[in-house]
Structure formats: structure tokens, C-alpha cells
Amino acid sequence: MTKKKILIARAIFPDILAGLEQQFDVESNQIDEIFSPEVLLEKVRGKDAVMVTSSESISAALIAASPQLKAICNIAVGYNNIALDAATQAGILVTNTPDVLNQTTADFGWALLMAAARRVTESEHWLRAGHWKKWSYDGFLGADLHGSTLGVIGMGRIGQAIARRSMGFDMKVVYHNRSRLTPELEVRANHAQYLSKEDVLRQADHVVLVLPYSAATHHTIAAAELALMKPSAILVNIARGGIVDDVALIEALREQRIAGAGLDVFEGEPAFNPGFLALSNVVLTPHIASASAPTRRAMTYCAAGNLIAALAGQSPPNCLNPQVTSKG
């Protein structure tokens, strides 16, 4: 029996790759090359399924050129890299990897928040440069987390996990979401109070962004929104690049209209606005919020399970377009 053909567009854990190679004719990319759109299109052509990450753009044009394709399996929660409507129209199942990274991503949101509020990376760079000669009463004064107000914009599973962690800091939680949580979930999220986005920005001492990217959420935080925030406020983005207007944020940080920021995602990443590098009041990380070994392994297992189910003619556990009938 001829094995079905799959493309794994980025390097994955070798043991998971070996398991897939037992079942499928696999073209892998363990050297972890970033394919150009043209190369990616050629590699997808003739494949039954592809496993991709957020760095691969699965466009409508690529989908139209790949009539054999049955499944697109993203190793990520967000899926704005995939033309979902075009895939659905072509009868291609699309999957993602939700839930397995909620807690790890929430942990990292707190790591960024604490580092930015307490000026951890700024002070470390200063120390490494040999400037530490004495203690001073006003050295690297930062912001307290305990007793402050946490604002969460995007109160899905990760946002709720972030809010629950605030209980240990005796914080008040305010949030904005497309729809209000049930009273039970609000209680579990440290008695979170639902407000308009504008009121969250006005009231919060620290704002964490955890909403999906779409045309509707593009530049959710831009110059007008930054102007609503307290001068002492910290902004953290662990969601997606494009949710924040990076140019406007650089200006606000440079002019100290907000105190600081922690950013794991950027517009156009892995390229990003070099203006950030000139700022001391921003903590920068390269999209690693889910980067614990157990979580990245769980994400890859999840994507592989979705792919196996789709090509077996079953409905994958994490299908984004369940109205499509499997062509497995």
C-alpha cells in the first residue's frame, strides 16, 4: 500500500518525526530552513498533508495549487498564517494546538511582566557593563505588582490563567473580551471585573494582551490607546505581532508616556523595529512564551495526532473547520 505523502515544514523532535515516518512518506526539514513562499509552494504540491508553524504562510494561492492536500496542521494556537476560508472552500481540514500551552504561556506572561515592572533586564545589562559601584536609594526604582490592578485584554484560557496567578499578588483584575465571562469564570479569574477596553487601559497598572490576531484586532493598541494608559503602566504582549502598533509603542516608551513594556511578539517577526533596541525600558524576547520542553513536545504531539486523524478519515481533535468532511 502506497504511503500518503506529508511535508513537515520545520524541524521537530526526532522521535516524533520517526513515528510519523513509520506511517507516511515524509519530507522533513530537520535542518530547519525557512522556505520562501515559492519553495514552500513547490514542496506542498503533491502532498496529502502538511505540518507547519506560524513562520509558514499557507496562502490561498498555495492552497489553489495543491489539489491533493487534505490537511494543514499548525504547531501553534494562532492560525492567522493560514488562509482558513480558502482551505475550507477547498475541503482541506485545518488544525491547531490549543490548551497544551495555556499554563506555560501564562507563566511566561508573568515572567515578562515582572521583568519589565522591576527593570530586571535593564539592571542586569547595567551590572554586566561594570557600572555597579554602590547601592543607592533610587537605583532602578520599579513598580510593585502586589496590591496593583492587572488588566487583561483577551480573556480566553490563557488570559484566565494569567488572572488566576494574580491571586498570589493580592491584585485587582479588570478585563476586556469580545464577550463577558460567566460569573463563575469571573470568580475563578480572581473576581475579574468586565470593563470596556478603554476603561481597562485607564484603570490598570499593568496590561497583558492575550487576544488572537485578525483584521479586527490589528493595532488594538495604537497611539490613542497608549495615551489612555497611566504614565506608570507596564504593557505586556504575549499574543501576536500586529495587535500592537510597534511604532506608536516605541514613541510612547521613548517619551516615557508609559513606564515600560515586555514583548514576546512583534510586527513582521522575526524582523522587528530596531527602534526597540535603543530603549532601556522594554524587555524583548523572541516569541518563546510556549518554550518549555514539555510544552513544545506536547504541541508537536498534538499537531501529529491531528495529522494522523485527518489522513485516517477521522475528525481531528483540534479542527478549526469541522464543517469540512475529511478526505483521508
Dihedrals φ, ψ of 217, to 5°? Answer: -100, 5
pLDDT above 70: residue 223: yes
How sure is the predictor about 16, in pLDDT bands with cuts at 50, 70 and 90? very high
pLDDT digits (tens, 9 = 90+) for 57-101: 999 999 999 999 999 999 999 899 999 999 999 999 999 999 999
pLDDT of residue 150: 98
How sure is the predictor about 327, in pLDDT bands with cuts at 50, 70 and 90? low
Cell numbers standing for residue 271: 524582523
pLDDT of residue 14: 97
How sure is the predictor about 296, in pLDDT bands with cuts at 50, 70 and 90? very high
- Which H or E run contains 251? helix 246-254
CA distances from 66 to 33, 86, 268 (A): 21, 12, 26
- The percent of residues above 90 in pLDDT, for the chain, comes to 97
Cell numbers standing for residue 178: 469580545
pLDDT of residue 139: 96
Which amino acid would we find at residue 52? Answer: V
CATH number of 102-284: 3.40.50.720
**Which of the following is catalytic: 157, 164, 269, 297?**
269
Q: What is the mean pLDDT of residues 238-260?
A: 97
Per DSSP, the residues of 259-299 read: SEEEES--TTTTS--GGGGG-SSEEE--S-TT-SHHHHHHH
Which amino acid would we find at residue 254? Answer: R
269 annotated active-site: yes
21 annotated active-site: no
Correct CATH for 5-98+293-311 of 2.30.40.10, 3.40.50.920, 3.30.1360.120, 3.40.50.720: 3.40.50.720
pLDDT of residue 325: 75
pLDDT above 80: residue 124: yes
pLDDT of residue 212: 92
CA distances from 287 to 57, 208, 270, 275 (A): 17, 15, 9, 18
Provide the 10 A C-beta neighbour count for residue 132.
11
Q: Range(s) for CATH 3.40.50.720 in the chain?
A: 5-98+293-311, 102-284
pLDDT of residue 326: 64
Q: What is the mean pLDDT of residues 265-272?
A: 94
Q: What is the mean pLDDT of residues 256-266?
A: 98
* Secondary structure string (H, E, C) spanning 115-184: HHHCCHHHHHHHHHCCCCCCCCCCCCCCCCCCCCEEEEECCCHHHHHHHHHHHHHCCEEEEECCCCCCHH
How sure is the predictor about 1, in pLDDT bands with cuts at 50, 70 and 90? confident
How sure is the predictor about 3, in pLDDT bands with cuts at 50, 70 and 90? very high
**Which of the following is catalytic: 10, 119, 287, 296?**
287
251 annotated active-site: no
pLDDT digits (tens, 9 = 90+) for 125-162: 999 999 999 999 999 999 999 999 999 999 999 999 99
pLDDT digits (tens, 9 = 90+) for 156-211: 999 999 999 999 999 999 999 999 999 999 999 999 999 999 999 999 999 999 99
Which amino acid would we find at residue 203? Answer: Q
Tell whether the torsion through CA atoms of 284, 287, 289 and 294 is positive or negative: negative
Provide the 10 A C-beta neighbour count for residue 93.
29
CA distances from 35 to 21, 99, 178, 188, 200 (A): 21, 28, 35, 43, 41
Is the peptide bond preceding residue 270 cis, with omega within 30 degrees of 0?
yes
**Which of the following is catalytic: 119, 240, 267, 296?**
240
Q: From 156, 255, 147, 249, select the one nearest 206 (Cα to Cα).
A: 147
- The percent of residues above 70 in pLDDT, for the chain, comes to 99
